[in-house]
Structure 1
Amino acid sequence: WGVRDHRTIADYGDAIMGGRAAIPRMLATFSKHRVKATWATVGFLFARNRADLLDHAPALRPRYANAKLDPYPSAIHGIGTSEADDPWHFGRSLVDQIRDTEGQELATHTHSHYYCLEPGQTGAAFRADIKAAMTAAAEANVTLQSIVFPRNQMSDEAVRICVENGISCVRGNPDAYMYRPRGQEETGAAVRFLRTVDSVLPLTPRTSARPKRDARGALNVPASRFFCPRFLKVPGVSEAFLRRIKSEMLHAAQNDEIYHLWWHPHNFGRDTDRHLGRLEAILSYFERLAGDHGMQSVTMADCLAIAGEG
């Protein structure tokens, strides 16, 4: 659902299917290394079939100026009936597997992959979307406590709406120009280039941090680094990228800070073995830091408990 406005099943469907296959392997790897993770999940994926998805759709929906961003026409006319015949748009079996794996948190990625900074959306429509996400999750015996905003598009109003509805842990952005929340039209080539360079060379300060409650009432657990698969394919760049991650992890461990590594399952959907091998190396390094410095693995919801607020 997060790539439907710029990808098709014809050109990217194999990566989505590869991501599906990678999820059980990620869960096994996390269990092996005693690593907890937060899985920010679009509410649509809690649906068992198309009728279930449409039953949970809110009456009030965003009216994006860019109609391509609206997922509801696709949901009504462009998808199959269930996971059995359309595994690209349904994933309830994987949601259940994550929920039932020890140490894993299901968080929300909004109900409809909602874009909070795009023209045409409103606070009322976002509130309806979040309530729909909470209802769909509750019917799967999941209580939502955390949110990762799609494409990191967050606003003060949206965060306050989440807090009002009991979703009080937010993945924020690193404190640097190229990572500040912005809409699609503002995220140009220069911003993407700076983000790319920063993944290998330190353009920004250390990205580990201590979670803190902000003025909006949310506990902010900022992102540290996108585990970007394309860097793992390029000799030299791959090694520099992994060194940067390990250096940041060490700094976090030595300073009692959070290091928040993130990616999408579909990022591992191609060249999966290579990507999982790199992930294994990172998690093995985490175990070393756990032994040397007492570093712990926590979910976003765990951060609420650690802060005495969960």
Structure 2
Amino acid sequence: MGTVVLSVDAELGWGFHDFAEPPRDRLTSARRGWRTLLDLCDEYRVPATWAVVGHLFLDECAGHHADHPAPPGWFDHERGDDRMPPSLRFGDGLIDRIEAADADHEIGLHTFSHVELGADGTTARLADAELSAAVEAAREWGLDRRPRSFVFPRNNVGNLQALADHGITCYRGQAPTARADGYGAVGRLLRAAVGTTAPPLVEPRQDSLGLVDLPASLFLFSVEGPARSLAEAVVGDPVAILARRGIDEAAATDGVFHMWLHPNNLVTPRDVARMEAIFEHLARVRARSDLRVRTMGQVAAEARGAGETAREAVATDGSKPE
């Protein structure tokens, strides 16, 4: 029985607050894209894991965060002449919409202020502060259960101990490394779309900390700009093609196809059309097969349960379980 997972990096302005020149089109569409994606998930009955930047749970703040061990200037874009507007600093009803959606979404975390936990300068103290602040903000907002799933900002994996210390049980790991063939990531995707290759299915794996690594299979906005336009003119939307193949492959096997995006990727009508095409295909395949759509937390719980069963079997008779 195959599984499809959709994870969402829900960050509004926090994904770009450390950029000298943030992409204005994506910032402008950030809130609209969030609402649009929720509507599409409801229409096609797709539960997703929304990894939310913890600051978005807040209603207000002074913008200083004096007790936070962030490097100097990290919160400068919360104040001053070039500060982010409140609509990009706070959720202001968007997280409520996740909770109220018809689809049974999961709310996870994406740090408190989009610190890259795997960056060289990120200390254990800073990682702990990011997780602590995010968990506390979610609790004060009123989330009725502790967040269990986590997405690393910019997929920079590191400081796993902080996740375990704060009750996280799974995270989105990096996509399986493609072979080095000189074409680059976008080139490989385009070649795959023109050919018959499907994105990789992934397997959840539990580490020594008890965390389940659920790697990504496909970023749904990995081919953009001129490369996308060129491919669309020849074969159609290359990412939609790859997503459909991944869904088909999952349905035909017991593997997991894990796709992801940011709400602010939905900038233009053709971006929305891509998601509609992917969801429509998912709905058709699900209707004729036993394909499941699960959240990260659900997949991780199954993986942890299987691990416990395996360990119990070894403890009982000493044999290696099949």
With the shorter chain as reference, the TM-score category is: 0.7 to 0.9
| Higher RCO (CA 8 Å, separation ≥ 6 residues) | 2
Shift of 1:177: 5.6
Shift of 1:309: 5.1
Kindly provide the amino acid, as one letter, of the partner of residue 5 in structure 1: D
Shift of 1:308: 5.1
- Measured on the aligned residues, the alpha-carbon RMSD in Å equals 2.8
Counterparts of residues 250-261 of structure 1 (less than 5 Å): 250-261=248-259
Counterparts of residues 120-269 of structure 1 (less than 5 Å): 120-142=121-143, 143-155=146-158, 158-176=159-177, 194-202=184-192, 206-228=199-221, 230=224, 232-233=228-229, 234-236=232-234, 238-269=236-267
Q: Is the 8 A contact 1:43 1:132 kept in 2?
A: yes
Q: Is the 8 A contact 1:40 1:106 kept in 2?
A: yes
Bigger-Rg structure (1/2): 2
Change (3 A) 1:121 1:308: closer
Q: Which residue of 1 aligns with 2:275?
A: 279
Shift of 1:214: 2.2
Shift of 1:160: 2.2
Q: Is the 8 A contact 2:70 2:126 kept in 1?
A: yes
Q: Which residue of 1 aligns with 2:27?
A: 16
Query: How many pairs does the alignment contain?
Result: 281
Deviations 1:103-132 (A, max 9, x none): 112211100101123332201111111000
Shift of 1:6: 2.6
Moved more, 146-155 or 211-220: 211-220
Change (3 A) 1:284 1:7: farther
Gaps of 5+ in 2: 1-13, 307-322
Structure showing the higher strand proportion among its residues: 2
Change (3 A) 1:44 1:222: same
Deviations 1:41-88 (A, max 9, x none): 11111111233x65xx4724243xxx7xx53122244536xxxx6323
- Aligned-partner SS, 1:92: coil
Match of 2:37 among 22, 26, 37: 26
- Aligned-partner SS, 2:87: coil
Q: Which residue of 2 aligns with 1:98?
A: 98
Kindly provide the amino acid, as one letter, of the partner of residue 129 in structure 2: A
- Aligned-partner SS, 1:200: helix
Shift of 1:257: 1.5
Q: Is the 8 A contact 1:61 1:129 kept in 2?
A: no
Match of 1:304 among 300, 303, 306: 300
- Identity percentage of aligned residues: 26
Change (3 A) 1:197 1:89: same
Q: Is the 8 A contact 1:58 1:128 kept in 2?
A: no
Give the Cα–Cα distance (whole angstroms) in 2 for the partners of residues 147 and 305 of structure 1.
14
